[in-house]
């Protein structure tokens, strides 16, 4: 098998044993990118020169006998994270010329661990979207069927992992943006507990919901990435000071004693029968691994989308106020006044979905509407959290579909924002509650489109979902299937 | 109508966005649908329910008020569309 097609853990092993060099590995992935990127369009910015230099540095460190979990491993980074000296756009024209003067904390951690950064992956603008179609740079195509979407907003990251255009990737998840594209592209995607991974250097969309996480070829790789990126950061005031376990130590195939909750509201009307059947298959696999299942109810599930599409735009309207043409990014150069500069810059720089959400958010927070919308949504958020807390008294983790249907066709939903929003119903509650969630491949539709299954657990218990995901992966035996490119 | 074109124009002004007449019209229509949908939240009785703004309760993440190294001035200015090496230049404010 080609080097680019192997998993992170397999490659880390070969690199450590000096069987291969990072230069060879990075070269292999760059060749792969050259061969398929025109058809996949996973990247906004590629940095082959920088990557090869980093690979050489990694080889030097390996030569000195250094060991580090990601030493020499080439990664793709969702373009929502600041990478020093490497253009970062958040998938928006408003940041087209922006070159960050600093690395995000997670990037700093990756670099210390010796990772090689290949480039910046495509995304929905400012992480707002579920199909990666809200991107003025590139719209990634699903490697399993290029007439279909990759999902979003971390669509580029998911596509790159699925197409072997990187060994692993980072994405961000605010309402499902790691888990949903992971599910649509047949890769593993993990959203950590809120506060588990530092948001310093993440271009913020909704500050109480955003989390950074890995997209990988298998569960072991996700655990390895988590070991590196998780941890307290004094520069993120929402970062939680708890020790980081070795997430690879919890991977097991025996789930005796584990109680898996099946939330009935996640299996309602609108769920594609093929998705339902694939998820039931996964439930059976967990039972065969020794887990006990229990019926659970999360009664406020159906209200999550409504609450989210007030809270997230409200927070975004505040976060995106900084894009004003003053300190960085695009500026309209003909303004007659300061106010006009703000208006023209923002109107020209932001795409339609971003403008839509800024307007919803501004409206929901404006005087006269704040109570009816933002406050109400925040109260419903409390009810959703209480549902989960009650559920976790009866079970260790929850299993459900990730998304009601497999990946839809390009342009199929782009004319109707609301129908796009409704497809996030199964992933949004996780973010509202700040819980960890993982999507792991569990099957395919009749037409060959990937289907993922979602596991959620209580705060700071990523070990539980990684453990069950690993057991599933081992039993389902589909992890080595690759798209034909 | 949950929202009028006039309100959309007003809110856009607050958000420092300029919308073309077509954009006002399509945004009004889309927002009307979205706001009608989120009305669903009124099916729930939230009397006495505390709003959640953060899923995890953290308070006062402070540090000692000591001067630490920050971004050097030239790096901080480097991305500025217009600057004079000391400050960002913008159209007259007053």
Predicted local confidence at residue B60, as pLDDT = 82
Residue contact A352–B23, C-beta within 8 A: yes
Q: Among positive and negative, which fits the CA dihedral A361, A365, A368, A369?
A: positive
> What's the confidence (pLDDT) of residue B58?
81
A303 — pLDDT class (breaks 50, 70, 90): very high
In a domain, B39, yes or no: yes
How close is the nearest chain B Cα to the Cα of A220, in Å? Answer: 28
Q: Read off the pLDDT band of A444 (50, 70, 90).
A: very high
Q: Where are the beta strands (DSSP E) in A181-281?
A: 188-191, 211-216, 259-263
pLDDT computed for residue A315 by the predictor: 97
Looking from the CA of A233 toward its CB, the CA atoms found within 13 Å total 22
Q: What's the token pair of residue A389?
A: 């807390």
Q: What's the token pair of residue A263?
A: 């939330």
Of the candidates A358, A418, A316, the one whose C-alpha atom is nearest the C-alpha of residue B11 is A358
Residue A194 pLDDT greater than 90, yes or no: yes
- Which tokens go with A128? 């707002």
Angle at A182 between CA A50 and CA B37, to 5 degrees: 120
Domain residues for the domain of B36 are 5-43
Average pLDDT over residues A266-292: 96
Residue B70 lies inside a defined structural domain of this protein: no
Mean per-residue pLDDT over chain A, rounded: 97
Q: Of A240-254, A432-446, B53-67, which gets the smallest average pLDDT?
A: B53-67
Q: In this predicted structure, what is the pLDDT of residue A480?
A: 85
| Predicted confidence (pLDDT) per residue in A13-46, tens digit | 999 999 999 999 999 999 999 999 999 999 999 9
- Under DSSP, the state recorded for A17 is T
- Reported as a pLDDT band with limits 50, 70 and 90, residue A336 is confident
Cα distance between residue B17 and residue A130, in whole Å: 24
User: Residue A416: what pLDDT?
Assistant: 86
Tell me whether residues B11 and A362 touch, CB distance under 8 A. Answer: yes
The two tokens of residue A77 are 């980074």
On whether the CB atoms of residues A154 and A168 are closer than 8 A, the answer is no
CA separation, residue A44 to residues A135, A189, A453 (Å): 9, 20, 29
User: What CA–CA distance (Å, rounded) separates A353 from B83?
Assistant: 31
User: pLDDT-derived band of residue B93, with 50, 70 and 90 as boundaries?
Assistant: confident
Least CB–CB distance from B34: residue in A309, A355, A375: A309
CB contact under 8 A, B44 and A303: yes
Cβ neighbours of A18 (radius 10 Å): 11
Count the domains in chain B. Answer: 1
Which of A324, A355, A378 minimises the CB distance to B52? A378
What confidence tens digit (pLDDT) does each residue in A43-92 have? 999 999 999 999 999 999 999 999 999 999 999 999 999 999 999 999 99
Per-residue pLDDT at B94 exceeds 90: no
Rounded Cα distance between A131 and B14, Å, is: 29
Residue B1 confidence (pLDDT) above 90: no
| Sign of the Cα pseudo-torsion (A213, A275, A263, A285, in order) | negative
Residue B31 sits in a domain whose CATH number is 1.10.20.60
* Nearest chain B alpha carbon to A375: B51
Inside any domain, residue B81: no
Distance CA A389, CA A370 (A): 27
Cα–Cα distance, B14 to A449 (Å, whole number): 43
Per-residue pLDDT tens over the stretch B3-37: 999 999 999 999 999 999 999 999 999 999 999 99
Which residue in B12, B37, B53 is closest to A418 by CB distance?
B37
Q: In 3D, which of B17, B14, B69 has the Cα closest to residue A347?
A: B17
- Counting residues of chain A whose pLDDT is more than 90, the rounded percentage is 95
Joined tokens for residue A411:
């342009």
Instruction: Flag whether B35 is in a domain.
Output: yes
- The CB-based long-range contact list for A380-383 (8 Å cut-off, 24+ gap) reads A380/A300, A380/A303, A380/A306, A380/A307, A380/B41, A380/B44, A380/B46, A381/A307, A381/A311, A381/A432, A381/B51, A381/B52, A381/B55, A382/B49, A382/B50, A382/B51, A382/B52, A383/A300, A383/A303, A383/B44, A383/B46, A383/B49
* pLDDT value for A93: 98
Q: What confidence tier does A127 reach under pLDDT thresholds 50, 70, 90?
A: very high
- Put simply, the answer to whether A340 touches B91 (Cβ < 8 Å) is yes
Q: Are the Cβ atoms of B55 and A432 closer than 8 angstroms? A: yes
Q: Which domains are delineated in chain A?
A: 1-485 (3.90.1300.10)
Least Cα separation, residue B73 to chain A (angstroms): 11
ipTM: 0.95
Other CB atoms within 10 Å distance of the CB of residue B67? 5
């Amino acid at each position: 098998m080609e080097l680019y097609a192997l998993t992170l853990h397999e490659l880390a092993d070969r690199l450590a044993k000096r069987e291969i060099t990072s230069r060879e590995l990075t070269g292999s992935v760059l060749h792969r990118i050259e061969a398929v990127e025109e058809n996949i369009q996973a990247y906004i910015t590629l940095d082959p020169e920088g990557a090869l230099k980093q690979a050489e540095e990694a080889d030097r460190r390996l030569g000195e006998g250094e060991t580090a979990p990601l030493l020499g491993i080439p990664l793709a980074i969702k373009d929502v994270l600041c990478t020093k000296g490497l253009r970062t756009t958040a998938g928006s024209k408003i940041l087209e010329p922006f070159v960050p003067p600093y690395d995000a904390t997670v990037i700093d951690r990756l670099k210390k661990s010796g990772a090689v950064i290949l480039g910046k992956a495509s995304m929905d603008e400012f992480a707002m979207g579920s199909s990666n179609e809200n991107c003025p740079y590139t719209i990634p195509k699903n490697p399993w069927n290029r007439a279909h979407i990759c999902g979003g907003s971390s669509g580029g990251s998911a596509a790159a992992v699925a197409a072997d255009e990187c060994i692993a990737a980072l994405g961000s998840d605010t309402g499902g943006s790691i888990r949903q594209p992971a599910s649509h592209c047949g890769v593993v995607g993990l959203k950590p507990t809120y506060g588990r991974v530092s948001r310093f250097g993440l271009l913020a969309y909704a500050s109480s919901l955003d989390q950074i996480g890995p997209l990988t070829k298998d569960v072991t790789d996700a655990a390895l990435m988590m070991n590196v990126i998780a941890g307290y950061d004094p520069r993120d005031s929402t970062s939680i000071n708890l020790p980081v376990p070795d997430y690879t130590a919890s991977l097991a195939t025996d789930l005796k004693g584990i109680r898996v909750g099946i939330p009935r509201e996640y299996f309602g009307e609108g769920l594609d029968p093929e998705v339902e059947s694939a998820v039931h298959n996964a439930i059976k696999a967990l039972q065969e691994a020794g887990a006990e299942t229990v019926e659970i109810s999360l009664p406020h599930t159906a209200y999550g989308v409504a609450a989210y599409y007030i809270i997230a735009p409200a927070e975004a309207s505040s976060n995106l106020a900084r894009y004003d043409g003053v300190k960085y990014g695009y500026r309209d150069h003909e303004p007659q006044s300061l106010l006009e500069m703000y208006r023209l810059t923002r109107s020209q720089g932001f795409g339609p979905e971003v403008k839509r959400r800024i307007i919803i958010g501004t409206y929901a927070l404006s005087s006269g509407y704040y109570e009816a919308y933002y406050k109400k949504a925040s109260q419903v958020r409390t009810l959703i959290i209480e549902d989960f807390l009650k559920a976790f008294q009866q079970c260790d983790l929850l299993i459900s579909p990730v998304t009601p249907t497999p990946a839809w066709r390009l342009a199929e939903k782009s004319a109707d924002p609301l129908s796009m929003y409704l497809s996030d119903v199964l992933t949004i509650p996780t973010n509202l509650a700040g819980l960890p969630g993982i999507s792991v491949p569990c099957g395919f539709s009749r037409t060959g489109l990937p289907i993922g299954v979602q596991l959620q657990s209580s705060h700071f218990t990523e070990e539980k979902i990684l453990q069950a995901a690993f057991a599933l992966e081992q039993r389902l035996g589909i992890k080595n299937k690759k798209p034909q490119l | 109508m949950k929202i009028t074109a006039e309100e959309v124009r007003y809110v856009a002004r607050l958000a420092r966005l300029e919308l073309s007449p077509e954009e006002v019209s399509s945004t009004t229509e889309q927002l009307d649908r979205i706001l009608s949908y989120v009305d669903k939240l009124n099916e729930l009785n939230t009397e006495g329910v505390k709003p959640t703004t953060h899923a995890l309760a953290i308070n006062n993440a402070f540090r000692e008020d000591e001067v630490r190294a920050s971004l050097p001035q030239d790096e901080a200015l480097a991305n500025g569309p217009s600057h004079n090496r000391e400050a960002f230049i913008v159209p007259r404010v007053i």
